[in-house]
Structure 1
Amino acid sequence: MQHTNTQDTLVGLFVASGIAGLFFLALQVSNLSSFTEHDSYTVTARFENSGGLKVKSPVSSAGVKIGQVSSITFDPKTYESVVKLSIDKQYNTLPDDTTASVFTAGLLGEQYVNLEAGGSEEYLKDGGKIEITQSAIILEKAIGQFLFKSAEEKK
């Protein structure tokens, strides 16, 4: 079989498209695909334990992504995790008694913040605070409690 320039070009295009596909996949997996800044407002939530929450983790409400985590800091006075949430402006009708919880997507998936709307007629504003929060459930701690209870019951 004869080796032609057309074959070389086709193989080169195939390899280049494969590399471009891997690059796109890496951006999607790492949450770096959104290079543009959306028009958003920031609210703060304090958690006793934010678990494996990371900057750029999704913020969702009713299963719909409405924003992302913009920063996570530690407050040395209250020993709490201070999480700033960047919420898209189109979702500016969240009641000010909204609750925030840290959940895990699946058994070993990434962690995200879930917002559950309250019933207040006042809305969260830029710089607002979410007062009612529920920390992340630490799998190791839950397993330890289960094992401790099982050992006590056997006595």
Structure 2
Amino acid sequence: MGTEKSYTRTEVAVGAFVMAGVAALAYLSASIGGMKLFFNDSTEIKARFASVGALKEGASVKIAGVRVGQVKQIVLDDYAADTRLQVDPRVALPSDTIASIRTEGLLGESYVLLRPGGSEKDLAPGDRIGQTEPAIDLIDLVVKYALEKDDEKTTDNPTDKKPGSADALPDDLFGD
């Protein structure tokens, strides 16, 4: 004796509604997360940097603060970082575009900033951006600044006189 379960119209409708809701939620989650599910059109360009700092694959590529793509790949080649950038194909990049690595705020995420030039000729898919600016390392800047300040201190006071003692006073203070 077989027991077959038959579903009512209401159960089928509820099941279809739940499945549609799950599919919509998955699509929206992927879209908000930056994934392209169905329309993955992009133009690939390349850029070579002396240093990429904390730049990661998946980082944003921006023009004037607007996201126009993402970093697809970063590889070390001959002691430099070769990057592959995926850019919206609707964005035409002049051949004299400059790519630099920037940071969101003081300690934020790194991204690639593209500054289009004025050339009449555009970069073709697969072309390499000719001029790049490497990432600026905040720690290197702080160390450099501290060393410069230390050098100023040693050159400003070349005497062996102890600070706070009468020896540290200028010789002509008392009119001698």
The interval holding the TM-score normalised by the smaller chain is 0.7 to 0.9
Once the two structures are TM-superposed, the CA of residue 63 in structure 1 deviates from its matched residue by 1.1
Q: Tell me, in whole angstroms, the C-alpha distance in 2 between the residues paired with 1:106 and 1:149.
A: 25
3-state SS in 1 of match to 2:90: helix
1:57 matched to 2:59? The reply is: yes
What code does the residue aligned with 1:51 have? G
Q: 1:33 to 1:94 in 2, by over 3 A?
A: closer
Q: What's the counterpart of residue 69 of structure 2? A: 67
Question: Equivalences for 1:112-131 in 2 at 5 Å?
Answer: 112-131=111-130
Q: What's the counterpart of residue 105 of structure 1? A: 104
Once the two structures are TM-superposed, the CA of residue 35 in structure 1 deviates from its matched residue by 4.0
**Structure 1 outlier segments of 4+, above 4 Å:** none
RMSD value over aligned CA atoms?
A: 1.6
What code does the residue aligned with 1:88 have? D
Q: What's the counterpart of residue 34 of structure 1? A: 35
Q: What's the counterpart of residue 80 of structure 1? A: 80
Unpaired runs of 5+ residues, structure 1, are: 1-19
How many residue pairs were aligned?
125
3-state SS in 2 of match to 1:69: strand
3-state SS in 2 of match to 1:153: helix
Question: How many percent identity over aligned positions?
Answer: 38
* Bigger Rg over Cα: 2
What code does the residue aligned with 1:71 have? Q
CA contact under 8 A between 1:38 and 1:88: conserved in structure 2? Answer: no
Q: Tell me, in whole angstroms, the C-alpha distance in 2 between the residues paired with 1:101 and 1:33.
A: 22
3-state SS in 2 of match to 1:141: helix
Q: Tell me, in whole angstroms, the C-alpha distance in 1 between the residues paired with 2:36 and 2:97.
A: 29
Question: Equivalences for 1:136-147 in 2 at 5 Å?
Answer: 136-147=135-146
Q: Tell me, in whole angstroms, the C-alpha distance in 2 between the residues paired with 1:52 and 1:130.
A: 20
Per residue, is there more strand in 1 or in 2?
1
Once the two structures are TM-superposed, the CA of residue 56 in structure 1 deviates from its matched residue by 0.6
CA contact under 8 A between 1:59 and 1:115: conserved in structure 2? Answer: yes
Q: Which has the higher contact order (CA 8 A, sep 6+)?
A: 1
Q: What's the counterpart of residue 14 of structure 1? A: none
Q: Tell me, in whole angstroms, the C-alpha distance in 1 between the residues paired with 2:87 and 2:40.
A: 9
Relative to the length of structure 2, the TM-score reads 0.67
Q: Tell me, in whole angstroms, the C-alpha distance in 2 between the residues paired with 1:122 and 1:63.
A: 23
Q: Tell me, in whole angstroms, the C-alpha distance in 2 between the residues paired with 1:33 and 1:94.
A: 22
Q: Tell me, in whole angstroms, the C-alpha distance in 2 between the residues paired with 1:53 and 1:104.
A: 9
